[in-house]
């Protein structure tokens, strides 16, 4: 998809479809009046007849427009004027694009941001616009054998902005494209079935990404090297699996040579059966998404490389399967992590923290200015926050505030949750330095506290994305989150 910014003063070019926003119970906006006038009153006739009320997400196509530069006009509801802002704006673009995708329109021109969107400057209005168009056009690569519906013809998308906003808007297009590319990469990887997306597959994807972008380097370590590093905690998770583990190390070099990098550590469990602490069958297929943290690191790298962000980032992805077998780790087994700390594995289904703690320890060799781990870590986080916010945990006030602000701006929100000694103490073990689980209570917090024990002296945050990374039910699939949050934070972190 090609996006271009059009200055409102110069918006006279012919277009297959003009997208115009209508507010509920309000007069036509400036831009709607302009398109209406050019089309000889096509919009006001519809509104006068009472055919379209402007409710959020609703669309009303006017086809066969005979006058003016647009062959079609698509009215999109923006809801009430007082409720208008980022969410209804994004929804309007999403709905408009879904309609466009079903038509033969090859290009479109959106007027939805031309009168400004409350709470957004032109940069964010355009960036959100680009992301929403791409989200609406995303198709999961599937293995369905039935004939596929035709692909959308839409290939050019113009965004009209006030003349003075053109420069900000251009930056919005650039960053929106980058974020969309990252989101699409995350979705593509996370939606793959676990018999395709194995640790070795992810390793190949890392090399492919490095080949595509000169600014990215990829290194892949196998079992022998992982053992040599002393990652006994990581390796304990792989014992039951026939698939060999991998440690993927990505490096993005966009900053100065000596600039301390940010480290992103992603959970790459390509399938989580629970191991000997086997999960219940219902919904177990969704545990193919247990590598969403890893996929979000890929996505963030894709985005910042596309954008050319001026900073250095390392990505650390421990990846393996969690399977039961005769050689699998058993409840009560004690393992030694790379940090030297010993861990009593009381529940083999709490495996994410076991691979992440070694990933966090490994990140120290890069002397990072911040370390953020991203993981579908706990069902408890899904119970606490549902799908709308991911959980954000950090003892570092500044880092926590920066990440939660980024989530707000990126429309990919994170809710800060507590960590503290009272919770960390629940991980006491009679036989090792710590246990990998505490009781049922505060499960998302005690999981975060486990990782905290390995982040001493680091500026560290943890994102529990178990509820936000993918949808279940009839819309089952990866959401691409938290790529927008991560990229927004990285772009502001320099």
- The nearer residue to ligand BES, 254 or 293, going by C-beta atoms, is 293
The option from Mn ion, Zn ion, ligand BES, none interacting with 106 (CB < 5 to 8 A, set by class) reads none
Which active-site residues does the annotation give?
279, 353
Figure out which of the listed residues 248, 305, 372, 382 binds ligand BES, where binding follows CB under 6 A: 382
Alpha carbon distance 359, 347 (integer Å): 20
Backbone angles phi, psi at 314, to 5 degrees: -115, 140
Please tell me whether residue 290 binds Zn ion under the rule CB under 5 A. yes
- Binding flags for Zn ion, 155-174, as an x/- string (CB under 5 A): --------------------
Residues 298/209, Cβ–Cβ less than 8 Å: yes
Q: Does an H or E element contain 20, and which?
A: strand 15-24
**Span 439-468, contacts to Zn ion by CB under 5 A:** none
Q: Does 5 bind ligand BES (CB under 6 A)?
A: no
466 binds, among ligand BES, Zn ion, Mn ion, none (CB under 5 to 8 A by kind): ligand BES
Minimum CB distance to Mn ion, residue 347 (Å): 8
Helices 397-410 & 483-492 angle (0-180, nearest 10)? 120
Helix (H) or strand (E) holding 100: helix 86-101
Contact range with Mn ion by CB under 5 A, out of 109-117, 120-128, 267-275, 444-452: 267-275
Residue 270 phi, psi (nearest 5) = -75, -20
Q: How many CB atoms lie within 10 A of CB 155?
A: 11
Q: Give min distance, CB of 464 to ligand BES, in A.
A: 9
Closest to ligand BES by CB, 272 or 411: 272
Site stretch for ligand BES (CB under 6 A), options 3-11, 204-212, 378-386, 401-409: 378-386
Contact between 272 and Mn ion by CB under 5 A: the answer reads yes
For ligand BES, the closer CB: 47 or 377: 377
> Cα–Cα distance between 32 and 80 in angstroms, integer?
15
Q: Cβ neighbours of residue 490 under 8 Å, at least 6 residues apart?
A: 262, 300, 304, 309, 311, 313
Alpha helix (H) residue ranges in 217-366:
223-228, 232-238, 292-307, 352-363
43 part of the interface to ligand BES, by CB under 6 A: no
Using CB under 6 A as the binding rule, whether residue 443 contacts ligand BES is answered as yes
Residue whose token pair is 């890893």: 294
Contacts of range 285-288, beta carbons closer than 8 Å, 24 or more positions apart: 286/470, 286/472, 286/476, 287/194, 288/190, 288/192, 288/193, 288/194, 288/197
Binding residue count for Zn ion, defined by CB under 5 A: 4
Tell me which stretch binds ligand BES (CB under 6 A): 147-155, 160-168, 297-305, 346-354: 346-354
CA distance 74 to 24: 16
Decide which of Zn ion, Mn ion, ligand BES, none touches 437; Cβ closer than 5 to 8 Å per partner kind: ligand BES
| CB-based contacts of 95, cutoff 8 Å, min separation 6 | 57, 58, 59, 76, 77, 136
Q: Tell me if the bond preceding 140 is cis, omega within 30° of 0.
A: no
Q: Please pick, from the candidates 119, 230, 244, 379, the single residue that binds ligand BES as defined by CB under 6 A.
A: 379
Least distance from Mn ion to the Cβ atom of residue 470, Å: 15
DSSP annotation string for 392-412? EE-S-HHHHHHHHHHHHHHT-
* Window 345 to 364, contacts with Zn ion (CB under 5 A): 352
Select from 164-172, 332-340, 374-382, 452-460 the region that touches ligand BES (CB under 6 A): 374-382
Tell me: does residue 272 bind Zn ion (CB under 5 A): yes
Residue 379 binds which of Mn ion, Zn ion, ligand BES, none (CB < 5-8 A, kind-dependent): ligand BES
Under rule CB under 5 A, residue 349 binds Mn ion: yes
Q: Which is nearer to Zn ion, 321 or 411 (CB)?
A: 321
Which residues are at the interface with Mn ion (CB under 5 A)?
Answer: 272, 349, 351
Which residues are at the interface with Zn ion (CB under 5 A)?
Answer: 269, 272, 290, 352
Which residues are at the interface with ligand BES (CB under 6 A)?
Answer: 272, 290, 347, 349-352, 376-380, 382, 437, 443, 466
């Amino acid at each position: 998809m090609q996006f271009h910014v059009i200055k409102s003063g110069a918006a006279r070019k012919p277009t297959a479809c003009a997208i115009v926003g209508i507010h509920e119970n309000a007069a036509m906006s400036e831009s709607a009046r302009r398109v209406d006038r050019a089309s000889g009153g096509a919009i006001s006739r519809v509104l006068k007849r009472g055919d379209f009320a402007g409710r959020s997400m609703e669309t009303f196509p006017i086809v066969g427009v005979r006058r003016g530069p647009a062959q079609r006009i698509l009215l999109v509801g923006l809801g009430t004027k007082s409720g208008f802002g980022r969410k209804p704006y994004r929804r309007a673009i999403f709905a408009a694009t879904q309609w466009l995708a079903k038509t033969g329109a090859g290009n479109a021109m959106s007027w939805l941001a031309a009168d400004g969107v409350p709470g957004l400057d032109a940069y964010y209005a355009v960036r959100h616009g680009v992301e929403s168009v791409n989200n609406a056009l995303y198709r999961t690569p599937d293995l369905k054998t039935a004939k596929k519906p035709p692909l959308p013809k839409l290939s050019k998308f113009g965004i009209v902005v006030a003349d003075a906003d053109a420069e900000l808007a251009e930056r919005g297009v650039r960053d929106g494209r980058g974020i969309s590319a990252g989101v699409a990469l995350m979705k593509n990887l996370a939606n793959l079935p676990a018999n395709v997306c194995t640790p070795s597959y992810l390793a190949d994807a890392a090399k492919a990404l490095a080949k595509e972008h000169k600014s990215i380097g990829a290194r892949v370590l196998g079992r022998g090297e992982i053992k040599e590093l002393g990652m006994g905690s990581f390796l304990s998770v792989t014992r039951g699996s026939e698939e060999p583990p991998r440690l993927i190390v990505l490096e993005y070099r966009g900053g100065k040579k000596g600039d301390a990098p940010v480290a992103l550590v992603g959970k790459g469990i390509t399938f989580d059966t629970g191991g000997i602490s086997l999960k219940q069958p219902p919904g177990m297929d969704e545990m193919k998404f247990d590598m969403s943290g890893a996929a979000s690191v890929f996505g963030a790298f894709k985005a910042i490389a596309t954008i050319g962000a001026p900073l250095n980032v390392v990505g650390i992805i421990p990846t393996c399967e969690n399977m039961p077998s005769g050689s699998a780790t058993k409840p009560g087994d004690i393992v030694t992590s790379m940090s030297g700390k010993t861990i009593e594995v009381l529940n083999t289904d709490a495996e994410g923290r076991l691979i992440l703690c070694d990933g966090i320890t490994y990140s120290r060799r890069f002397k990072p200015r911040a370390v953020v781990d991203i993981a579908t870590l706990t069902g408890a986080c899904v119970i606490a926050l549902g799908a709308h916010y991911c959980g954000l945990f950090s003892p570092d006030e500044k880092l926590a505030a920066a990440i939660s602000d980024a989530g707000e701006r990126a429309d990919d929100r994170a809710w800060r949750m507590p960590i503290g000694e009272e919770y960390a103490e629940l991980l006491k073990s009679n036989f090792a330095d710590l246990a990998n689980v505490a009781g049922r209570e505060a499960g998302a917090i005690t999981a975060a506290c486990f990782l905290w024990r390995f982040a001493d002296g680091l500026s560290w945050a943890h994102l529990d994305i178990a509820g936000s990374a993918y949808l279940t039910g009839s819309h089952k699939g990866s959401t691409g989150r938290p790529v927008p949050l991560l990229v927004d934070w990285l772009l502001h972190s320099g």
